[in-house]
C-alpha cells in the first residue's frame, strides 16, 4: 500500500488530471480523487499529504454548559516524509494534542473564517495516531440543545446534531470533507435519565454506568463514511420495532403516531433492494425528532433523522422516508466528492425515491410526485434568475432544490432514452463499482460513457450529458412525467378561478400532493372573499398537515390576508423545518411595509426555537444580519 500512496502523491504533484482508484490502506479506506474538480474548497485538509482514516470519540454531553468535551483520537495515513496534518475546526477550544502514548505534539490554530472555521495544524513527529483534547462552544453550529419546553414530553432536555454539509467541524475536529471517508467509534456520556443514539451500530443499547449520575453509550461504524454523516441525538427516547431490521426511536408521547406512519418501512427497504441491490448498512432505524429539526430528514447511516411534520395520519408524506432510505445507496454508499457535486447525492436520491414509491404504492402516486417535482424545478429556475443563470447548472452552487429536481429529471431522461431495463442494470452496477467511494460529476459522466454509452455516438448526442451537467437551464430532451390525477386538480383550479365557490369543488379524498397542486396553482392575487371561502370550507389555517398549511399561508401572505396571521404566527413558532420557514419569511419580506415588520416580530420570538443554521439564514433574510 505504501507503493500505491507514493505513486499517487507523485502523480498528484506532477499533474491533477487523473483519478486515483486504488484504496490507500485498509479496504474500508476510500480513495482520494485527485482531479481539479475534486479539490474541496470548503475544507482546510490536505489529504494527499496526510489524511484521517478513523476517528475515536470520547465525549461528555454537558446540558448545562451546552458543550461536548473530551477527545477525538484519529488514525493518520501520511505520505512518506509528511510532517503535519491539517484538520477542520469551528469554534473549538483545543487544550492539547498528543500522540497515542500521551506525548505532546506541537499544534497551531490558524486564522478563523466565519463559515469554514479555522485550520488545526498538528506536527506529526512520526505519529500515526493523534489525540485532540477539546471542548465545543455553546453555540456550536452542528448542535441544537433544546430545553424541555421545546420537546414533545416537556419534561427533559434534548440534543441533536446536524452535520451536513460542513457543520460537524464545530463538535468534531477532523477533515470535514465528503471525499475523505472515515470509520469511527464513539463513547458518549450523558445524564442517566436520557438515552443517546448515533448513526452507527449501538454497542450498549442500555448504557453503562459512568459515575456522577451519568451513563455512557458506545457506538461503532466500521464502514467508511463522509464525516458529515456522524450524527448524535440525546433525549427521553424510546424504541419500537417495525420489522426484523427496522425500528423507530422517538419521545414516548410521539411513539404511537410515529410508528403508525412508519409501518411500511421494512417493506420499503426490501423494495429498494429489489431495485438497486442489497442494503449494506445492517439496520435501518428512524429517529423522529422534535419540531425544531431543520430538514425534512437526514440520511445518517443506520439511523435516519426525520422531522415530525411528515406525520399526517394518512402516510401521505412517507416519500420522505423513501428519500432518506434511498440515500443509503446514493450519498452514503457513493458520495459526492465535493459540495459542487451535491446533485450526485440529491438528484440520484430523488430519482431513486420516486422509483421506490412507484414499486411500493403504484405508478399514479409516483407520477403525482414526479409532476410536482417538475413544478418545483420550474419555480426554482425562475427564482434563480431564469434559464441562463449559472445557479441552474447541476455542477456548482446550484439554486434552491434544483440539485434534487433537475438531477432526478436528468436520470429519468436517461432512463427514458435507453430503456428502464438497461438503465437499471447500469445503475445497479454503478453502485457496486463505486461502493464506499467518493465520486465527482466528471467521474460519473466518464463512467456513463464507459459502461452505458460504450461509444454509441448517436446515443451520446441524444443524451446531451455535458449540457445537463455543466450548462444552465433545462436541455430540450428533458422528460416531464405528467399525472392524470393532477390534471383533474387543474380542472378544479380553473373552476375556482372562473367563480365557482369552494364548496362546489370536487376535492373529496384528495391527497397531500393534490392539495399542493391546487394551492400552488391558484392565482397569487385573490380577493378576501375568495380567501375566506377557501379557509372556511377547507379549514386550511388549522390544518394538521404542515405541507398543506404552509402552502395556504404562502397564498395568504401574497394577498396580505390578515385573518390568517394568527395561524401564521402559531405555525412559525412551532415548526423548525427550513423548507416551510424560508418561503413564508421571504413572502413576508416581499410584502414590504406590511409584511416585513411581521417577519421581524415573529422571527425575534421564534429564533431561539430554530436550529442555529436555520436561525442564521433567516436572520440574514429578514434583518440583513
Q: How far apart are CA 167 and CA 164, in angstroms?
A: 6
Among the listed residues 251, 261, 299, 324, the single catalytic one is: 324
CA atoms within 13 A on the CB side of 262: 34
Find the DSSP H helices in 362-456. Answer: 363-384, 402-418, 420-433, 441-448
Q: How far apart are CA 31 and CA 21, in angstroms?
A: 6
Q: How far apart are CA 130 and CA 174, in angstroms?
A: 11
Q: How far apart are CA 88 and CA 172, in angstroms?
A: 9
Q: How far apart are CA 501 and CA 482, in angstroms?
A: 27
CA atoms within 13 A on the CB side of 573: 16
Q: How far apart are CA 383 and CA 378, in angstroms?
A: 9
Can you read off the three cell numbers belonging to residue 483?
399525472
Contact 243/219 with Cβ under 8 angstroms?
Answer: no
Q: Where are the beta strands (DSSP E) in 226-321?
A: 232-235, 238-243, 246-250, 284-288, 297-298, 303-306
404 labelled catalytic:
yes
Residues facing 529 on adjacent strands: none
Give CA 553 to chain center in angstroms. 25
Among the listed residues 276, 404, 561, 585, the single catalytic one is: 404
Nearest to residue 85, comparing CAs of 71, 101, 99?
99
* SS3 per residue for 433-466: HCCCEEECHHHHHHHHHHHHHCCCHHHHHHHCHH
Contact 69/60 with Cβ under 8 angstroms?
Answer: yes
- At residue 99, what are phi and psi to the nearest 5 degrees? -90, -175
Q: How far apart are CA 454 and CA 426, in angstroms?
A: 12
- At residue 482, what are phi and psi to the nearest 5 degrees? -110, 140
Contact 232/198 with Cβ under 8 angstroms?
Answer: yes
Task: Give burial (CB, 10 Å; 0-12/13-18/19+) of 123.
Answer: middle
Handedness of CA 381, 384, 388, 389 (dihedral sign): negative
Q: Write the Ramachandran bin of 175: left for phi over 0, alpha for psi from -120 to 50, otherwise beta.
A: beta
Q: DSSP string spanning 521-538?
A: HS-S---HHHHHHHHHHH
Name, in order, each residue with C-beta under 8 angstroms of 561's C-beta and a sequence gap of 6 or more. 528, 531, 555
Name, in order, each residue with C-beta under 8 angstroms of 35's C-beta and a sequence gap of 6 or more. 16, 17, 18, 19, 440, 442, 443
Contact 169/176 with Cβ under 8 angstroms?
Answer: yes
324 labelled catalytic:
yes
Can you read off the three cell numbers belonging to residue 534?
377557501
Residues recognised as catalytic: 324, 404
Amino acid at each position: 500500500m505504501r507503493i500505491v500512496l507514493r505513486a499517487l502523491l507523485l502523480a498528484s504533484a506532477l499533474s491533477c488530471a487523473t483519478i486515483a482508484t486504488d484504496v490507500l490502506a485498509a479496504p474500508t479506506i476510500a480513495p482520494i480523487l485527485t482531479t481539479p474538480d475534486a479539490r474541496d474548497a470548503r475544507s482546510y485538509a490536505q489529504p494527499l499529504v496526510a489524511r484521517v482514516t478513523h476517528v475515536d470519540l470520547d465525549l461528555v454531553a454537558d446540558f448545562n454548559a451546552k458543550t461536548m468535551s473530551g477527545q477525538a483520537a484519529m488514525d493518520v495515513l501520511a505520505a512518506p516524509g509528511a510532517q503535519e496534518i491539517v484538520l477542520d475546526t469551528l469554534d473549538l477550544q483545543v487544550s492539547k494534542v498528543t500522540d497515542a502514548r500521551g506525548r505532546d505534539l506541537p499544534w497551531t490554530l490558524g486564522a478563523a473564517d466565519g463559515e469554514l472555521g479555522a485550520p488545526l495544524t498538528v506536527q506529526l513527529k512520526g505519529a500515526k495516531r493523534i489525540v485532540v483534547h477539546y471542548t465545543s462552544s455553546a453555540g456550536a453550529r452542528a448542535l441544537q440543545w433544546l430545553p424541555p419546553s421545546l420537546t414533545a414530553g416537556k419534561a427533559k432536555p434534548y440534543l441533536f446534531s446536524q452535520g451536513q454539509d460542513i457543520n460537524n467541524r464545530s463538535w468534531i475536529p477532523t477533515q470535514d470533507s465528503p471525499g475523505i471517508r472515515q470509520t469511527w467509534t464513539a463513547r458518549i456520556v450523558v445524564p442517566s435519565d436520557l438515552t443517546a443514539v448515533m448513526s452507527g451500530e449501538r454497542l450498549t443499547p442500555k448504557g453503562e454506568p459512568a459515575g456522577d449520575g451519568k451513563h455512557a453509550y458506545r457506538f461503532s461504524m466500521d464502514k467508511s463514511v463522509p464525516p458529515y454523516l456522524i450524527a448524535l441525538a440525546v433525549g427521553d427516547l424510546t424504541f419500537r420495532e417495525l420489522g426484523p431490521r427496522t425500528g423507530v426511536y422517538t419521545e414516548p408521547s410521539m411513539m404511537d403516531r410515529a410508528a403508525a406512519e412508519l409501518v411500511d418501512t421494512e417493506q420499503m427497504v426490501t423494495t429498494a433492494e429489489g431495485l438497486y441491490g442489497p442494503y449494506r448498512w445492517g439496520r435501518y432505524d428512524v429517529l423522529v425528532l422534535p419540531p425544531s429539526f431543520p430538514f425534512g430528514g437526514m440520511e445518517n447511516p443506520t439511523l435516519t433523522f426525520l422531522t415530525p411534520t411528515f406525520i399526517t395520519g394518512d402516510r401521505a408524506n412517507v416519500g420522505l422516508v423513501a428519500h432518506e432510505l434511498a440515500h443509503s445507496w446514493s450519498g452514503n454508499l457513493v458520495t459526492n466528492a465535493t459540495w459542487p457535486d451535491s446533485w450526485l447525492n440529491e438528484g440520484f436520491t430523488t430519482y431513486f425515491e420516486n422509483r421506490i414509491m412507484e414499486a411500493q404504492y403504484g405508478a399514479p402516486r409516483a407520477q403525482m410526485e414526479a409532476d410536482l417535482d417538475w413544478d418545483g424545478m420550474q419555480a426554482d429556475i425562475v427564482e434563480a434568475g431564469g434559464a441562463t443563470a449559472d445557479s441552474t447548472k447541476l455542477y456548482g452552487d446550484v439554486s434552491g432544490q434544483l440539485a434534487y429536481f433537475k438531477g432526478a429529471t436528468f436520470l429519468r431522461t436517461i432512463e427514458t432514452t435507453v430503456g428502464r431495463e438497461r438503465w437499471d442494470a447500469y445503475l445497479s452496477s454503478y453502485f457496486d463499482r463505486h461502493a464506499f467511494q467518493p465520486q465527482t460529476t466528471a467521474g460519473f459522466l466518464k463512467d456513463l460513457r464507459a459502461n452505458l454509452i460504450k461509444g454509441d455516438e448517436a446515443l451520446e448526442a441524444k443524451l446531451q450529458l455535458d449540457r445537463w451537467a455543466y450548462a444552465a437551464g433545462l436541455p430540450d430532451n428533458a422528460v416531464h412525467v405528467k399525472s392524470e390525477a393532477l390534471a383533474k386538480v387543474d380542472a378544479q383550479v380553473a373552476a375556482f378561478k372562473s367563480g365557482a365557490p369552494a364548496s362546489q369543488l370536487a376535492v373529496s379524498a384528495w391527497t397531500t400532493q393534490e392539495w399542493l397542486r391546487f394551492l400552488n396553482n391558484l392565482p397569487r392575487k385573490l380577493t378576501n372573499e375568495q380567501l375566506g371561502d377557501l379557509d372556511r370550507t377547507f379549514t386550511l389555517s388549522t390544518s394538521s398537515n404542515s405541507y398543506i398549511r404552509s402552502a395556504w399561508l404562502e397564498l395568504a401572505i401574497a394577498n396580505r390576508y390578515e385573518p390568517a396571521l394568527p395561524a401564521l404566527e402559531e405555525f412559525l413558532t412551532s415548526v423548525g423545518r427550513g423548507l416551510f420557514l424560508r418561503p413564508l419569511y421571504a413572502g413576508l419580506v416581499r410584502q414590504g411595509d406590511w409584511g416585513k415588520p411581521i417577519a421581524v416580530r415573529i422571527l425575534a420570538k421564534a429564533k431561539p426555537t430554530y436550529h442555529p443554521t436555520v436561525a442564521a439564514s433567516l436572520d440574514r433574510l429578514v434583518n440583513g444580519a
